A and B are shown apart, each in its own frame.
Chain A
Amino acid sequence: MDKNQSRRQVASMKQSLFDQGLLDEQFIQLEGLQDDANPNFVEEIVTLHYRDSSRLISSIEQALKERNPMDFNKLDTLMHQFKGSSSSIGAKKVKAECNLFREYCRAGNAEGCVRSFQQLKKEYVALRKKLEAYFQLARQVGPQETACRSK
């Protein structure tokens, strides 16, 4: 298959992620750290993130179930962690949802929290899928910046 074509595909995929506001500058930073010593750095980080964050997601879900009363402090703390992790990979939209969620927490708005979290999960899952597809293709193509290694 035409490597160039694949590479272009990968590139446009990435671009669309940016255009849609799913990824931000941080993702580019991570790519900048990728080199020969760390050829799959970005993918590793993203994988690590999803593994770690799924645990947080379920914790938050669990905490949201306690309605009377809702433990906003705990939710805020959990979300803070999740936000830090998400921002590390450059998940822009997810991060924005995190901020929204935390505001609801601070305001003590249980409904707002629940709603915001639903939205957040959607974004989270959507980005995850897209990134997985992206990396899959990227792996086939080889390192983007450097000379492409033939598969």
Chain B
Amino acid sequence: MAVENQRGHLGDKDGSGDPFPVGMRVLAVDDDPICLKVLETLLRKCQYHVTTTNQAVEALKMLRENRNKFDLVISDVNMPDMDGFKLLELVGLEMDLPVIMLSSDSDTKLVMKGVTHGACDYLLKPVRIEELKNIWQHVVRRRNFDCRDQNKASNEEKAPNIVGESSQGLRSENSADQSKRLGKKRKDQSEEEEEDGEGNGDDEDPSAQKKPRVVWSVELHRKFVAAVNQLGLDKAVPKKILDLMNVEGLTRENVASHLQKYRLYLKKAAQQANMVAALGGSDSYLRMGSIDGYGDFCTSSASGRISNSTLPSYASSGIFSRLNSPAGLNMRGISTSALIRPVQSQSINSSLNTLGNIQPSIFPTNQSSSLLHGIPTSIELNQSKQSNSPTGISQLNQVDLSGFTVASSFPDSRAAVNGPNNSLPCVPNNHLMLQGNPQQTHSPGAFRNQSSVRVASLSGESFDMGMCGPSNLLDYNRCNENWQNAAQLSKFPANSLPLCEPFSNDQLPPTSINASNSSTPIGNSPVDFSSRTRMTIPVPLDDARNELRCQEGLIGNIVQPSSYAPQQRWEEHKLDYNQNMSRPFNPVNSHASHSGVTSSMGHGLNQNNTICSNRFDASLVGQLNGPSPSISRCTEVEKFSSDIRLKQNETYILEQMKSQDGYMQNTFGTLDDIMGAMVKREQNELTLLDGEMGFDAYPVGSCN
């Protein structure tokens, strides 16, 4: 439990016999070497354990590596590489550690700023040792506070929440209680997310719980994080968190959606770290978490940075395998297989996880690891993301994308895959579809996936063509591209996703895709995040429209949080894609939403894709109903492929989000946020990926 960890480092026990505050671990950050040295010496004199750095980014890195390595952070206000207040916010949001600000300027405005950003103290330079002797009180205070909350929470044992898939579990749990409220809450959450994504209104109104919209202020989030840490991320159930937080007017739904985002965010951050190594570092992910402190959290996810990081993880196909295994991944509606999307459905958090999870599973079946590679990463992302809602979204996207990519890559083989996996097949199916492989007959469900995948691929290509521009296209685009490349998708002209054809396999009304493709110059559009609200994705898909809608909705939702504006377009597309992809599984709507979102993310690449994806969804959705996962998977697959390329977790997230579509329906609220975050991330990633659009990279290659 985090709480215990916290306590642990402080001393053995809380209370008597505890050497604390001796040995308290402090991280000191100041760009002025003299001040830093003096501070360090002063702290050592107080018998604290001191670590110093003169760079804020370095400090963040250290903190992110292991949050439990430190008890307290002291930071200067004026630093060249990062504003001290920003660091303050980030630390508070991500690690929930007490932060003390330091400055030689005693201006009241600055002090106020420190307080509103969550600093537990504000010291003036030069610091006196007497003041430093007492800073441990902030640690103790926080610990006790969390402890108290925790006790309360533990009393009410919430149903087992399954974090990973759990998002879903939570959701179900929650839904059970408040299904009705959920819907509403989700909306609220979405709004909230939106707000967060946009404005991050944490500064004011720390607990505006009374209002239907909950503004996750820094303070509120801090409590939230403390509660989550206390419970342990895996065991953190909204109900318990809610109790621990003990905030008036806050509902479980609020917490649930926030939890989703938070999970995603964390995942992203983790992924980011991994990715950095793997991909070459998308720092953006990490940043994701802390957009403006809290804002970052939301935005980061959106940026889909995660995709980058997550992508590598995908390679670990391990994740996929997990997903796949549930052949019934039905995470949520989407046949578990590709359901990375499922994440979406549940709540962004869940979805993300699911996505991540789903994807892997999907892939394994389909392809040879290659695809999976791409996907797993996304899945991973998703998983991590799940918790962090904003990040979660990104993850979702990513996942989705992978799913897609995967799908694309499985041109024929996929079909096969689809069969078995209903869940997974999504990817392969789609893939096939995209590929134009008629063989895709992959089971109806699979087909769906295929279509979705197709779309993705198609879009990918088209996106690439079109989207490449937006760079942020979110991996999704990449995925698309990859698909296209790999799948040799008929070059879908940006607008004309030939996907339709491939889908024709049967179930998916390929035409729809085509239609979408051509008609949907999705271009950035429909999904435009601007349409945040659900599905404003103007995907011209005829039938897919609906689906797209859903997707869009998702995208929109997701997009919202993320304010990735430019990317959103694509992302939306991507989302659409994803949605489409994922949609197949889920009811059109759900898919749509998810996919839309994810697609958008991924779509960035292919505007058309979005359209196509939308179409897919429509068709897919219909068909997929069952195998919806395939779609998600497709995204995943795509993701993977793109992952490889895209690394853009974002797309993955999209995918995830998409797959989640089915699921997302519910979680739109949160998903949006996540999506937003994801989208953002993806966008960022996409940008990165743009170059990489060549999905070829992804193993999907088998697609062709």
Q: Which A residues have a C-beta under 8 Å from some C-beta of B?
A: 25-26, 29-30, 32-33, 38, 41, 44-45, 48-49, 52, 77, 80-81, 83-85, 87-90
Contacts and interface: CB of A to CB of B under 8 A. Distances in A.
Interface residues of B, number: 18
Given A32-B129, A83-B104, A88-B125, A48 B42 contact: no
Contacts of A25: 128
Interface in B127-155: 128-129
Interface in B15-49: 32-35, 37-38, 41-42, 45
A38 B41 contact: yes
Nearest to B39: A88
B78 A49 contact: no
B34 A33 contact: no
Scoring B45, B103, B104, B125 by chain A CB atoms within 10 A of each residue's CB, the highest score goes to: B104
Contact of B45 (A26, A33, A84, A90): A33
B32 A88 contact: yes
Given A25-B128, A29-B42, A41-B41, 9 more contacts: A30-B38, A32-B129, A33-B45, A44-B37, A52-B33, A84-B104, A85-B32, A85-B35, A89-B34
Contacts of B248: none
A26 B41 contact: no
Contact of B34 (A29, A48, A77, A80): A48
Given A29-B129, A32-B129, A38-B41, A49 B34 contact: yes
Sorted from nearest, which 10 A-B pairs have the closest CB atoms? A84-B104, A26-B126, A87-B126, A33-B41, A49-B34, A88-B34, A88-B35, A88-B126, A88-B38, A85-B34
A145 B388 CA distance: 55
A80 B105 contact: yes
A80 B76 CA distance: 12
Contacts of A44: 37
A14 B78 CA distance: 32
A80 B35 CA distance: 13
Contact of B35 (A32, A33, A38, A84): A84
Contacts of B34: 45, 48-49, 52, 85, 88-89
Contacts of A90: 126
A90 B125 CA distance: 10
Contacts of B126: 26, 29, 87-88, 90
A87 B32 CA distance: 12
Contacts of B105: 80
Contact of A48 (B33, B76, B78, B128): B33
Interface string B104-128: 1100000000000000000001101
Contacts of A48: 33-34, 37
A45 B32 contact: no
A38 B103 CA distance: 26
Contacts of A30: 38
Given A80-B78, A81-B32, A45 B104 contact: no
A123 to B, nearest CB: 17
Q: SS class of chain A's interface: helix, strand, loop or mixed? A: helix
A76 to B, nearest CB: 10
24 contacts: A26-B126, A29-B42, A29-B128, A29-B129, A30-B38, A32-B45, A33-B42, A33-B129, A38-B41, A45-B34, A48-B34, A52-B34, A80-B104, A84-B78, A84-B103, A84-B125, A85-B32, A87-B104, A87-B125, A88-B32, A88-B35, A88-B125, A88-B126, A90-B126
Contacts, number: 55
Contacts of A26: 126
A81 B78 contact: yes
A25 B124 CA distance: 14
A7 B33 CA distance: 31
A45 B45 contact: no
Contacts of A77: 78
A39 to B, nearest CB: 13
A14 B76 CA distance: 30
A87 B103 CA distance: 11
Looking at A29, A81, A88, the one whose CB has the most chain B CB atoms below 10 A away is A88
Question: A26, A41, A44, A85 — which one has the most chain B CB atoms within 10 A of its CB?
Answer: A85
Nearest to B40: A33
Contacts of B128: 25, 29
Contacts of B38: 30, 33, 45, 88
**Interface core residue of A26, A29, A41, A90 (most chain B CB under 10 Å):** A29
Contacts of B35: 84-85, 88
A81 B54 CA distance: 14
Interface string B38-76: 100110010000000000000000000000000000001
Contacts of B76: 84
A33 B103 CA distance: 21
A87 B39 CA distance: 12
B396 to A, nearest CB: 42
A83 B129 CA distance: 19
Contacts of B32: 52, 81, 84-85, 88
A108 B76 CA distance: 26
Most buried by A among B34, B45, B76, B78: B34
A26 to B, nearest CB: 5
Contacts of A80: 78, 104-105
Nearest to A30: B38
Interface centre among B38, B125, B128 (most CB of A within 10 A): B38
A141 to B, nearest CB: 22
B39 to A, nearest CB: 9
B10 to A, nearest CB: 25
Nearest to B130: A29
Contact of A45 (B37, B103, B125, B129): B37
A45 B36 CA distance: 10
B124 to A, nearest CB: 9
A99 B367 CA distance: 69
A78 B614 CA distance: 55
Interface in B354-373: none
Contacts of A32: 45, 129
B81 to A, nearest CB: 14
Contacts of B41: 33, 38, 41
Interface string B78-108: 1000000000000000000000000111000
Nearest to A87: B126
A53 B76 CA distance: 18
A121 B105 CA distance: 21
A32 B37 CA distance: 14
A44 B37 CA distance: 10
Contacts of B104: 80, 83-84, 87
Contacts of A85: 32, 34-35
Contacts of B78: 77, 80-81, 84
Output the residue of A44, A45, A77, A84 with the most chain B CB within 10 A. A84
A86 to B, nearest CB: 9
A33 B127 CA distance: 13
Nearest to A37: B44
